[in-house]
């Protein structure tokens, strides 16, 4: 079996037309741009309460999230009250500031429970995350 080493283009055609290729690339680009907007980011959805006055917290905080369903999170991990106690003890040793990021529809009792636990363990800097009103 013999293969041709060089393929000759048809009569008088000296270049390949790339217009259909460009059209296809643009269609793929539009498809991926539209479908990527439907992908929901992973994480915990928290609607922070809005306030007129607020201070910007510095980095290095221990962020505890209270969701709308009153579930406690540390990062993306669900934690219990017992786990929280150990985490807060560790934060006290490293002198970290505690930032409570609670949904505006979360139970005030749950937020106060986290706040009190941090204060009982001797953490002096406990803050609540808010958004500024525009």
pLDDT at 15: 74
70 within 8 A of 107, measured Cβ to Cβ: yes
Could you tell me the domains of the chain?
Answer: 50-132 (3.30.420.270)
Instruction: Collect all residues with Cβ–Cβ distance below 8 Å to 38 and sequence separation of at least 6.
Output: none
Report, as an integer, the average pLDDT of 79-102.
Answer: 88
Please provide the average confidence, as pLDDT, over all residues in the chain.
Answer: 80
Give the tokens for residue 107: 């139970």
Report, as an integer, the average pLDDT of 27-32.
Answer: 92
- Sheet of 61-66: strand order equals 77-79, 72-74, 61-66, 97-102, 126-128
Report, as an integer, the average pLDDT of 14-33.
Answer: 88
For the entire predicted model, the pTM comes to: 0.58
pLDDT at 107: 87
pLDDT tens digits for range 116-132: 998 898 888 888 887 76
């Amino acid at each position: 079996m013999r293969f041709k080493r060089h393929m000759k283009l048809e009569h008088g055609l000296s270049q390949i037309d790339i217009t259909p290729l460009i059209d296809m690339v643009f269609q793929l680009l539009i498809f991926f741009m539209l479908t990527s907007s439907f992908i929901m980011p992973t994480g915990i959805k928290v609607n922070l309460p809005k306030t007129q006055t607020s201070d910007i917290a510095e980095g290095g905080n221990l962020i505890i999230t209270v969701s709308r369903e009153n579930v406690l999170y540390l990062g993306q991990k669900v934690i219990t009250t017992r786990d929280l106690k150990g985490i807060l003890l560790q934060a006290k040793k490293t002198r970290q500031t505690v930032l409570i990021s609670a949904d505006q529809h979360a139970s005030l009792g749950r937020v106060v429970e986290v706040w009190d636990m941090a204060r009982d363990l001797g953490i002096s800097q406990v803050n609540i995350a808010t958004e500024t009103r525009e």
